[in-house]
Chains A and B, each alone.
Chain A
Amino acid sequence: MLALRTMFDAFKNKHGLGVACFIGFAVFFWALFLIALPQIAMLDYSFRFNLPRADIGGPSDVYTLENYAYFFRGNDGGFNALDVGILFKTLVAAVFVTIIDIMICYPIAYILAHSATGVAARLMVIGLIVPFWVNEILRAFAFRILFGATGMINGIGMEIGLWDTPIDFIRADIALYSGLTYAYILLMVFPIFNAVEALDRNQIEAARDMGASWWRVHWRVVLPIAKPGIASGATMVFMLTAGALAAPQILGGPSNLWFTQLIYQWFNESANWQRGSAYAVILLLVCIGFVTMMMRVFKVSIGEIGR
């Protein structure tokens, strides 16, 4: 409390009372009402039984671990391979999408920061941003059309004789991966761009002068500088991909469920908010755990990501 007070005073002296009050209130509102309270409510939900309206607040409305247990044990008490499998598959897919995004965005960010100048650079940025004016649903359906059995890619591929029968990109999840990869490109490009931009061009030239190949220049000089940016972009892309709903709903294959779709089903179709909350909390914890582990593995600190 004391620390908060001194912070507020320092801020007041610098920017005036009005601004300090506004910022103080905004931060308070944001932290409490937009972040803490809804999450606490969800957490509370996840530990309760799904009771009829009349029983809520009654003697049978007690805390339970039943919703979490269900994720592991299912209805029959055995291992719930289906749901755990879906979570695992979602995580693997999110990792896959993140890796593809890194591979696509690292060169883009590097070129944007160090090769493109003037008009070309501005066109590149506009080219990256404008597609995101199109809303998510429309973009997802556009990808469906693009990858459909009679879609453009199958049309062109068969026309020039690359394959004879239409490929089912939807069932193979290629459409889904492409859609998700594309959806979060910006979130990957800009953190990497930020990090790489700080790199002094002379360092690249110095490394070249000493005979380093392009591969080594990137591996030893550029990539270490880009690492915090990559970590920050990867965290965002991974979290959002794992939590995506619209794209898997529209582009996902009929036999493949995304974990978020499972959560959605508990909330909407089964009207079991308690179990849905538990599943959402599981997704959140597993994602945070996975990201923390990855940061350990790649030796990135949370402070570096914040930069």
Chain B
Amino acid sequence: MTTKDIVLDHVSIRFGSYTAVDNAHLTINGGEFFSFLGPSGCGKTTMLRCVSGFSEPTEGRVLIGGKDMKGVGPNKRPTALIFQNLALFPLMSVAENIAFPLEVRGVGKKDRRKKADELLDMIALPGVGDKKVHELSGGQRQRVAIARALAVEPDILLLDEPLSALDLKLRHHMRTELRTIQQRVGLTFIYITHDQGEALTMSDRIAVMNAGVIEQIGDPEAIYNRPKTAFVASFVGETNAIEGKVTAQTGELVVLDTPLGPLKGTAAGGRKYKPGDNCYIFIRPEQLELRDNPAGENAFTTQAVKAEFEGNARLLFLGANGVDLRLTRINTGERPADLAGTAVHVGFDPSKAFVLPHSALAGA
């Protein structure tokens, strides 16, 4: 165990009768890039405030480097928090902003400036120290906020959706940048986001949260390819959910009776189902295939409603028997025949589809 480890020991946070975080129990390893991913209101920011010391858990303990943080204020914890809106001080210069934590610690003016310039070099913004914050671009402010947080050399950096105010291009660029900075300084990063793309590209591990409960913890591959709950399957990435009743299971292969006919999928996480269980079968749009004929495994016939062109991919909206599906095809550079309004044959590989017990879906 290093000083950068964080243990959330059966942490629950309640506001009156409302439970914001319900029995979170996990260990975040030193030097890890760990993300909490979930829709707004799922409790991820509350969790972060609890680690940073702005609120205390109602039950359970927060341990940082093996020490119980109960009663330890935010300024006494080895954490630095980067706020969603960055919270840079508008009336101070960039260098004063970065050096503020040092000023607080009584570091002399010359040393402060020297350290601020070093940090500006590190974030690749040399020479902007005397500018005012509002003279910087969104991405530059982002980096200044990181520099300010790193000025006191914390063990753990907490980031509360820091990229949400940036435009798309910059957001993508900053993902790489954040990851690079994290690997360079070797700190533990705890990253809060509702953007699965950010979580998947940057994180070592992700905890997916819904309504205060951590639904699944795992690396990005596991979260995306092997979701454990219906919520995770539907929240992370695009997916199609087809409702049905189990009719049989042989090994991992489960057969469901769905409005589209009998369909086969894989029992995720080696679960066992009884005939009659209400389940979802999840299949990603890129795993659905257009077929020439209705024969073959896991095939069904449905109606093409409309097609959308997204640049890198083409999206086909399908609908029949009350089941709406989406199918994506890579853009090969050739315009395919317009299928809208015609009957199409669709199928998928049972090993690419997961069967999960019926429960709340994301956004439902």
A interface residue numbers (CB < 8 A to B): 200, 202-203, 205-213, 216, 220-221, 224-225
Interface residues of B in 71-85 (CB under 8 A from A): 73-76, 79-81, 83-85
From B54, B76, B103, B105, A205 is in contact (CB under 8 Å) with B54
Q: Which residue of B has the minimal Cβ distance to A199?
A: B90
Inter-subunit contact A220/B89 (CB<8 Å): yes
Inter-subunit contact B101/A211 (CB<8 Å): yes
Inter-subunit contact B74/A209 (CB<8 Å): yes
**Which residue of A202, A210, A213, A216 has the most chain B CB atoms within 10 A of its CB atom?**
A210
Q: When chains A and B are docked, how far (Å) is the Cα of A209 from the Cα of B53? A: 9
How many contacting A-B pairs (Cβ < 8 A)?
Answer: 56
B132 vs chain A, min Cβ distance (A): 12
B interface residue numbers (CB < 8 A to A): 52-54, 73-76, 79-81, 83-85, 87-89, 91-92, 100-101, 103-105, 148, 152
Q: A212-B75, A224-B91, A225-B91 are in contact. Are A207 and B83 (CB under 8 A)?
A: no
Inter-subunit contact B83/A206 (CB<8 Å): yes
Q: Which residue of B has the minimal Cβ distance to A211?
A: B75
Inter-subunit contact B87/A202 (CB<8 Å): yes
Inter-subunit contact B87/A210 (CB<8 Å): no
B90 vs chain A, min Cβ distance (A): 8
Inter-subunit contact A208/B91 (CB<8 Å): no
Q: When chains A and B are docked, how far (Å) is the Cα of A170 from the Cα of B108? A: 50
The 3 closest A-B pairs by CB, nearest first: A202-B87, A211-B75, A210-B101
Q: A202-B83, A209-B52, A220-B103 are in contact. List 15 more A-B contacts (CB 8 A).
A: A200-B87, A202-B85, A205-B83, A206-B83, A208-B73, A208-B74, A209-B79, A210-B75, A210-B101, A210-B148, A212-B75, A212-B100, A212-B104, A220-B89, A224-B91
From B75, B91, B103, B105, A209 is in contact (CB under 8 Å) with B75
Q: When chains A and B are docked, how far (Å) is the Cα of A212 from the Cα of B106? A: 10
Q: When chains A and B are docked, how far (Å) is the Cα of A260 from the Cα of B87? A: 48
Q: Which residue of A has the minimal Cβ distance to B151?
A: A210
Q: Which residue of A has the minimal Cβ distance to B81?
A: A209
Contacts of A212 in B (CB 8 A): 75, 100, 104
Contacts of B89 in A (CB 8 A): 203, 207, 220-221
Q: When chains A and B are docked, how far (Å) is the Cα of A205 from the Cα of B49? A: 11
